[in-house]
Amino acid sequence: MKKALLLPLLVTLAQAAAPYMGPTIEPPPGWSDARNQSRVRNTVIALKGPQTSSFIVKRAPTAPLDNPAGVRGYLNDVLGGLRDASRKDYRSSGRVETRVFRNGLTASLLRAQLGGEDRLVLAVFGAGGSAYVAVLVSAAPEAMLPSLLGAIQSRAVEGEVQVSGVVRSLDGQLELALGGGLRARSLLEAEAAQGFVLVIQGAGSEILFQKLSEADATRPAEQAAIVRELAAASAGVPSAKAASVLAAPSAAGPIAVYSWAPVAAGEKISVGYLPWGYWGYQLFGRGPAADELLVGALAALKAGPAAVPGLLAASPRIPVQGGTPSRQLLLGAAAALGAALFLAWSLRRKNANLPP
C-alpha cells in the first residue's frame, strides 16, 4: 500500500524542477506586455497601459529592504533619477508608506505628483530572496496599484532557505517571524501541487503545513483520533506506539492538536491539525525534534494578510480526548497517508537544508 501511494508522488517530484524566473504578472485588462520595448536594464516586468501609462519592475540589488531610513533614501534617489531622465518635474513629500497587497506582497511606496496631480508611484519589495523596485506612471496610480502590485506572482527557488524576516504561507493566511531557531524553506513545486503551503525548519527537523478544503476536512470531534492514527501509520508502528494527543495553541488564536511516533535512528514523525475558519491545516513533521518544532512553530504563528478575523475567531475547538476511530475516520486517515509518505521522502531529499 505504501509503495503504491509513494510511486506517483515520486514521479511528480521528478518532474517538478523549474528555474527561478523572478516576479511575473498577468497583464490586467487594458495593459500589454512591453518588455521587448524596455530599455531599462535588469527589467523583469514591463507593461504598457492606456495612453501614457506604464509599469516597470526591475532588480534592485542595492535596495536596503530591512532599513526604513535606507528605503526612504533609496526611493528618493530613484525619484531624482527619474526626474532627470524624463525631464519632468515630479515632486514628492518624501513620505514612505508600507502596504500589504492581496497576494501577500509587502511593498514600501513613495508617491509623486506632476503639476499637483498624483502621477507616479515608486515601490520597493522583496521576492525570492532578491530586492526589486517598481515604477508606476498613470493618470490614476492609486487605483491601479491593486491590479498591478497586487497581481505580481513570485515563485521562490525550490528548496531555498530563509533564516530571518517574516514568512507567509502560499495562501496568505499564515504568517511567522523567523529567527530564534526557526527557518523557512520554500516549497517544491510537487509539494505545492499536493496542497502544502508552508515549510518550517528547526533543530534538524521540518514541519509542512497542508491546506485542507472544507470538503476535505473531517468533523472536529474526529481530528484528535485522526492525528494519532496518521502519526502511527506514517511511522509504520501500531497506534498504541503513537503519543497521546495533546493541544498546541497558536498566537493567531486557534488551538491545534498533535501526536507523534518514533521512527528509526532517533527520528520522530509528528502529525497535527490546526482548525482555521471553516477549513484547516494538516501538519506533517519529521526529525529528531519533530514534536517540539511543531509546537514551537504553532506558538509563533500569526494570522497572515489574507486572514479574516471573523472567520478566524469562529474556528472550531478540537476536543483532545476521543474514542476509538470510526471506519470513516480510518478511511480518511488512509487517504491522507499519501501526503505523509510524500513528506517523509521529501524530507530525506532535502536533508542537506536542515540545520544541525
Sign, CA torsion 186/223/298/238: negative
pLDDT at 222: 86
Mean residue pLDDT across the chain: 83
Count of domains forming the chain? 2
Per-state percent for the chain, helix, strand, coil, to nearest 5: 30, 30, 35
Do 176 and 276 belong to one domain? Answer: yes
Do 254 and 134 belong to one domain? Answer: no
Sign, CA torsion 218/237/183/346: negative
pLDDT at 334: 44
pLDDT at 102: 81
Do 86 and 180 belong to one domain? Answer: no
pLDDT at 11: 30
Whole domain around residue 39: which residue ranges? Answer: 32-151
Those residues whose C-beta lies under 8 Å from the C-beta of residue 131, and which sit 6 or more positions away, are: 59, 60, 61, 62, 63, 65, 124, 125
Q: Give residue-wise pLDDT tens across range 18-47.
A: 334 468 898 999 999 998 887 787 888 999
pLDDT at 3: 34
Do 171 and 292 belong to one domain? Answer: yes
HSE of 217 in the Cβ direction (CA atoms, 13 Å)?
23
Q: Give residue-wise pLDDT tens across range 182-199.
A: 999 988 878 888 889 999
pLDDT at 328: 44
Average pLDDT of the residues in 53-72: 90
Q: Which three cell numbers stand for residue 28?
A: 490586467
Those residues whose C-beta lies under 8 Å from the C-beta of residue 36, and which sit 6 or more positions away, are: none
User: Worst-scoring range by mean pLDDT, 65-74, 84-93, 223-232, 317-326?
Assistant: 317-326
In a domain, 20, yes or no: no
CATH code of the domain covering residue 54: 3.40.1000
Do 110 and 195 belong to one domain? Answer: no
Residues 204 and 347 sit within 8 Å (Cβ to Cβ)? no
Do 140 and 221 belong to one domain? Answer: no
Do 345 and 216 belong to one domain? Answer: yes
Closest CA to 71 of 101, 41, 107, 46: 107
In this structure, the number of other CB atoms found within 10 A of the CB of residue 348 comes to 9
Q: Which three cell numbers stand for residue 279?
A: 477549513
Whole-model pTM over 0.85: no
Task: Give the ranges where the chain is alpha helix by DSSP (H).
Answer: 2-14, 68-86, 141-148, 189-193, 220-235, 290-300, 309-313, 327-349
Do 242 and 306 belong to one domain? Answer: yes
Q: Is 253 left (phi over 0), alpha (psi -120 to 50) or beta?
A: left
| Summary count for the chain: helices (H), strands (E) | 8, 18
Do 161 and 285 belong to one domain? Answer: yes
Please determine, for residue 81, whether its predicted confidence score (pLDDT) is greater than 90.
yes
CATH code of the domain covering residue 220: 2.60.120.1690
Residues 301 and 250 sit within 8 Å (Cβ to Cβ)? yes
Q: Which residue has the higher pLDDT, 248 or 11?
A: 248
d(CA 107, CA 200): 24
Q: Which three cell numbers stand for residue 160?
A: 531555498
Q: Give residue-wise pLDDT tens across range 306-341.
A: 999 999 999 999 998 644 444 444 444 444 454 555
Which of 151, 169, 196 corresponds to the end of one domain? 151
Residues 236 and 263 sit within 8 Å (Cβ to Cβ)? yes
Matching residue, cell 516549497: 187
In a domain, 15, yes or no: no
Average pLDDT of the residues in 129-145: 91
In a domain, 13, yes or no: no
Closest CA to 170 of 141, 223, 201, 210: 210
Do 88 and 188 belong to one domain? Answer: no
Please determine, for residue 290, whether its predicted confidence score (pLDDT) is greater than 90.
yes
Which of 111, 133, 151 corresponds to the end of one domain? 151
Which of 151, 169, 186 corresponds to the end of one domain? 151
In a domain, 98, yes or no: yes
pLDDT at 39: 77
